[in-house]
Every structure is written in C-alpha cells, then in structure tokens.
Copies of this chain bind each other. A is one copy, B any other.
C-alpha cells in the first residue's frame, strides 16, 4: 500500500489487489480436498508469487484486515480514499474467487461443502466461539507482523528480497496451526466471498454461521500488530535520535 492517490496509479493498484485476492481465495478453496498440509503449501507458495507479481504494484496486501492495520499505523499518511479503494477491491476479489470456484465445481453440494469446509465452519467441538476468535486474532497478528516487518513501505528489497518468501512461510505456518479449529482464514475477504456465493445455493444459516468471527478476529489481530509495530518503530527512531 503505497501513499499515492494519483487516479491512474490507484486504479492499477486496485486491479492488482483484486486479481491477487481473487486468485488467493480460488486457490485456498480449491485445494481444500488435499487436507491441511496441501492447503498450507498451496496458500503459502501462492502468497509469495502474488507479492512478487501483482504485489509489485500495490504492495501485496490482499487482506482487508492487514490493510486496516496499515491504514491505522500510517497515522494519516495513507488517505482514507486509498484505504477504501483497497478494501473494496479485496472484497470484490474474494467474491470473484468464490464465483470462479462455483463455476468450476458444478456440483452444488460439493462446491458448497468445499467452500464452507475450509473456513466458514468453526469447529465448535475443539475451539468454541471464544477460542475461534482468539485463534483468528493470534494467527492474523503473526501474519500481519511478518507483513509489516518485511514489506512495509515497499522496502522489502532491502532485506535481500526474502520478504515475500517470509510472508509466504508465515501463511503456511499459520494455516497449519489453525486449520483444524477455524480453517485459518485470517482474512475477511476470504470469508465474505465464499459466504455470499454459498448462500445462493446452500442453507443460508450454515453459510453465515459465526461469520462475524472472521471479521473481528483478523481485524483485532492485524490492528494490534500494526500498533505494536508502530510503537516499536517510534521507540527505535527516538533512540537513534538520542544517540545522534
């Protein structure tokens, strides 16, 4: 998320966020049949490729929660119009990705099961509502921290280019940690798209059950990470000034 509101640049960035989020949701849902390790490997590798590809234009966020964290941590440097444009692009990308899944898996039963199995069905027997919220918060906190440390301000090229790989590894790790309990969503766009599409064909109650957890959990996690990152950055800047 760079700080420009030049309309041409912003359009290209929004297109990049739309594309990246669409492909991420498509891959994350389509690989559900291969189990936790398959989903984690596919999602992690894809995140790295998406940051290296369309992310060169937009910073590689693909996640409204992490975008919100960026917006708050920037303390006014990111204009609200940029934030909202990114948010909308990511939510529409998630919707497009889920629609692609629906077109590919023509069996309504299977397609809906696939879309809801991964994320939308909180495993009440293991985590419960409070646990699900905690898991989504903690995992998104870790992922967001990895993003802020390595990709913030687009300066990951200074880290010998390993930033996108580190973020992909974080996606893989977090997916393995949370897959059984909550599906390791960590991304409201990942939750909204499949829920909307599934509610056309499946039981609406199932499609939207506990949906709010996938907004509040990631949101709280990413914003907390952004604030802590900002404070640490501020303290370290202050220390440098004192040394001078």
Contacts and interface: CB of A to CB of B under 8 A. Distances in A.
Interface of A: 23, 26-27, 30-31, 33-42, 45-46, 48-49, 52-53, 100, 103-107, 110-111, 125-128, 130-131, 134-135, 138, 142, 146, 149, 160-162, 166, 169-170, 172-173, 176-181
Given A41-B176, A42-B172, 13 more contacts: A27-B177, A31-B173, A34-B40, A34-B176, A34-B180, A37-B37, A38-B176, A41-B41, A45-B173, A46-B173, A52-B166, A104-B138, A106-B131
A181 B138 contact: no
Secondary structure at chain A's binding surface: helix, strand, loop or mixed?
A: helix
A181 B104 contact: yes
Quickly give the copy total for this chain: 4
The residue among A34, A160, A176 with the most chain B CB atoms within 10 A of its own CB is A176
Nearest to A137: B104
Contacts of A162: 52
B36 A34 contact: yes
A41 B115 CA distance: 24
Nearest to A177: B30
